A and B are shown apart, each in its own frame.
Chain A
Amino acid sequence: MTERKIKVETLTRVEGEGGLYVRLQGEQVEEVRLEIYEPPRLFEALLRGRPLEDAPDITARICGICPVAYQMSSVHAMEMALGVEITPEIRRLRRLLYCGEWIESHGLHMHLLHAPDFLGFESGLAMAKQFPDEVNRGLRLKKHGNQLVDLLGGRAIHPVNVCVGGFYRIPSRNEFQKLVPDFEWGLNAAIETTRWVAGFEYPELESDCEFVSLSHPDEYPMNEGVMQTSSGDQIEISNYRDEFQEQQVPHSTALHAIRKTTGRPYLLGPLSRVNLNRDRLSPAARKLADEIAFEPECRNPHRAIIARGLELVHSYEEALQILRDEHSTKEPRMTYEYQAGVGMSATEAPRGTLFHRYEIDTEGKIVEADIIPPTSQNQAQIEVDLKAWVGQVIEKEESQAARLCENLVRAYDPCISCSTHFLNVTIERS
């Protein structure tokens, strides 16, 4: 039997640096590796000994695309350790900030990173010549997300306005309302975008993964809830570390995340969130999901771009509601006294659940930090799905098969800088 290898040296249109390695023996897929060679930056180690107030600023630097998720998970965890109760107004504004990040990240991923795969272009920029309206719309949607994070967070990349207890300053009602006309346009454009991507041609692929996401009784999950799984389990955040476990697998030196109870990988992200919380999407997003006949439990990872579109619509609708609101926020932030303790929190980054846990001492210093980013948790599931997918594209010529594999990896919107916690080292086998 002949041995074949499919290699993608550098994954493109993803955040961070990684590669892909597939080994075939005849028609058999012997090995699939998502290789992450992003250098480790050792955040958990360098956080130790620093003031707890540094956590939102420093952990934001783990990722330039989803800094809000890092800031939100860290402030919630610190507040739990300190016993701080935030006001409903601060909570709403945190959701608004999160909407900004979802709009920015989903807008970018859908138009500039993922859509080119379906339309046969090497980039969004190259796509602009033939699809100028769509690319310009994407840039404008992304800009809205940035504008919102800019206003409430101070700047779009590594916002400065988030702190333990709330915000340093709350923008005026007038500043919020200035965004309303743009966001009204954006809501319609997001609906158009979702209809557009729903019309793409999707390859068949069934993932048998377990879907996992935060879930909240009355709202679409973003910054609070329990971990809901498609097999019906509900897991309190305080049990996160017991239920989701990093494990070493025989074929790789990388740590992979699995469910402890089943020993199997799981999937986080927009597909999981929509599958598990569809009834809590905003009215326009729910109506749209029905209109485009989005499956009640979509198992095709290629179609995650549609789930992303539904979340884009949701984010616009929820953001508009908050932007139009009368803001009566007298207290931008809650005060606190230092006390030793442990705090943890999970929030929904655009690409999946992000877990933080901190131990702090009586002087407000970080003793231990633990961060589990979504991409490292998705890594094992991506490999499982790739294995199935390789079986389908095995007939294709080498470079085309490699391209099709890369397309699938992009469907998960992996955030590799975040995931270096789980650095993968290749060992060649003959």
Chain B
Amino acid sequence: MCKPRLAVFKFASCDGCQLSLLDAEDHLLAVADAVEIVYFPEATSHMEEGPYDIALVEGSITTPHDAERIQQIRKDARFLMTIGACATAGGIQALRNWADKDEFMQAVYATPEYIQVLETSTPIAEHVQVDFELRGCPINQYQLIEVIRSLLAGQTPRTPRHSVCLDCKRRGTVCVTVAQGTACLGPVTQSGCHALCPSYNRGCYGCFGPALQANLVSLSAQMEREGASKAEIAHKLKNFNAYAPAFRTESTRLVQLEGDQRR
């Protein structure tokens, strides 16, 4: 039987999520054995054209060329999975979605007119149908291996959608908000990092994006009661998953409210 053909593609991103696959040192050779890696420029010079059984897509869509490229990848892929916050929520570069793109370009490039970029940085799912989204900035390599494993076994991949708070309790980490008054996005952020930041004595900053049924309005109110300004809370949400709908809606609401108060 032919091995499933795996391809890895990159758009606007830092390479960190696909590096997670190379970082799965103990599993890497086994994965390489179980699938046929036919396109993965970061790891191999061997490149084949589609069709692909599994396409892993890292990065967000930020240029007209990339907006076209993703269409072809979709056509070529039987199962398309986004890996990471850029591909799933537009990434940190989605902060341009609130700004004047031309002004941003001028701030960075001496000759911005040579470079074609879109007004926005958008998730892959805004362009093509996505079969599964793996969250995280970066993704969790064990989740990646598990999702690939379940695909190979013909199962529908699943990853937990509960909030980071539950993982803190499981780990026995003392709540940084309750004990130290540290602002923490744990209550509204999806699990996946093993509640990392609180275990290092800092508040969660939302790498995995909004948890299922996250109550953002309630958390903002609590943070305000503890002394944070609306602008500060909006900055916390405008991070690596800024353009994920739940975070986007709440940061926009806070900024608007603050504007109203000033008026």
Are the CB atoms of A61 and B25 closer together than 8 Å?
no
Contacting residues, chain A, for B37 (C-beta < 8 A): 125
- Number of contact residues on B: which range applies? 35 or more
User: Which residues on the A side are within 8 Å of B108 (C-beta)?
Assistant: 40, 42-45, 421
Tell me which residues across on chain A come within 8 A of B22, comparing CB atoms: 108, 112, 142
Which of B137, B197, B232 is in CB contact (< 8 Å) with A61? B137
Cβ contact within 8 Å between B32 and A125 = yes
A124 interface residue per 8 A CB criterion:
yes
* Distance between A209 CB and nearest chain B CB, rounded to angstroms: 24
| Segment with Cβ contacts to B, from A51-59, A287-295, A306-314 | A51-59
0/1 per residue, B20-33, Cβ < 8 Å to A? 10110110110010
Q: Looking at chain A's contact residues, is the secondary structure mostly helix, strand, loop, or mixed?
A: loop
Render B92-103 as a binary contact track against A, CB cut-off 8 A, 1 for contact: 110110010001
Q: Mark A21-46, 1 if CB is under 8 A from B, else 0.
A: 00000000000000001111111111
Could you tell me if A13 and B44 are in contact, using CB atoms closer than 8 angstroms?
A: yes
A248: CB under 8 A from chain B?
Answer: yes
Q: Which residues of the other chain, A, contact B23 by a CB distance below 8 angstroms?
A: 142, 146, 156-157
Say whether B44 contacts A11, CB under 8 Å.
no
* The stretch of A62-70, A179-187, A297-305, A317-325 that contacts the partner chain: A62-70
Indicate if the CB atoms of A42 and B63 lie closer than 8 Å: no
- Contact between B14 and A39 (Cβ–Cβ < 8 Å)? no
User: Which residues of chain B in 64-120 are interfacial with respect to chain A, using CB atoms and an 8 Å cutoff?
Assistant: 65-66, 91-93, 95-96, 99, 103-105, 107-111, 114-115, 117
Q: Which residues of B contact A255 (CB under 8 A)?
A: 110
Whole-angstrom distance between the Cβ of A268 and the nearest chain B Cβ: 20
Q: Are A126 and B44 neighbours in the complex by a CB distance under 8 Å?
A: yes
A423 and B117 alpha carbons, distance in the complex (Å): 12
Asked if A12 is at the interface of the complex by the 8 Å CB criterion, the answer is yes
Question: Can you list 21 A-B contacts (CB < 8 A)?
Answer: A12-B41, A39-B63, A40-B62, A41-B93, A41-B121, A42-B96, A42-B105, A51-B235, A61-B91, A64-B16, A65-B16, A125-B37, A160-B202, A169-B200, A248-B110, A248-B111, A253-B111, A421-B108, A423-B114, A423-B115, A425-B115
List 6 A-B pairs, minimum CB-CB distance, nearest first. A64-B16, A123-B44, A45-B104, A41-B93, A45-B107, A39-B12
Point out residues on B near A: beta carbons under 8 Å.
Answer: 10-20, 22-23, 25-26, 28-29, 32, 37, 41-47, 59, 62-63, 65-66, 91-93, 95-96, 99, 103-105, 107-111, 114-115, 117, 121, 137-138, 193, 196-197, 199-202, 205, 207, 232, 235, 239-240
